Amino acid sequence: MKSALVKKWVKALRSGDYVQGTTRLKQRALDGVLKYCCLGVLAEVANLRFKKGTDGCYTLSGGVCGILPSPSKTRLGLSGDAEATLIVLNDTKLYSYKQIARRIEQMHAKGEL
């Protein structure tokens, strides 16, 4: 993944501008709040276009609510292993965006992104 995109992504995660959610890249919750998983924030900062579904869930072209479609991962330079790691941190271990941002920086420094 390009360093400029990683920096933009990490900055967005730390900004407080995105409400963290789980299991969906982007979703309007029942309370009306728009929530993102960490990968949904990546899609936003990379200017990928979401399409709104009928259940408040947003998808990317060729994808489903909870994962990035393969063409998007390729465009972003995100491996399947990195995606899987970040999904676990966001959805299962419930890391905060700040914790995930630190892990993204570590992964990028090691060439894992």
Q: What's the rounded mean pLDDT across residues 1-29?
A: 96
Mean pLDDT to the nearest integer, 5-20:
98
Rounded Cα distance, 31 and 29, in Å: 5
Nearest Cα residue to 29 out of 59, 58, 64, 56: 56
Among residues of the chain, what percentage have pLDDT more than 70? Answer: 99
Q: 60 and 50 in contact (C-beta within 8 Å)?
A: yes
Question: Would you call 79 helix, strand, or coil by DSSP?
Answer: coil
Q: Which two tokens stand for residue 16?
A: 């407080």
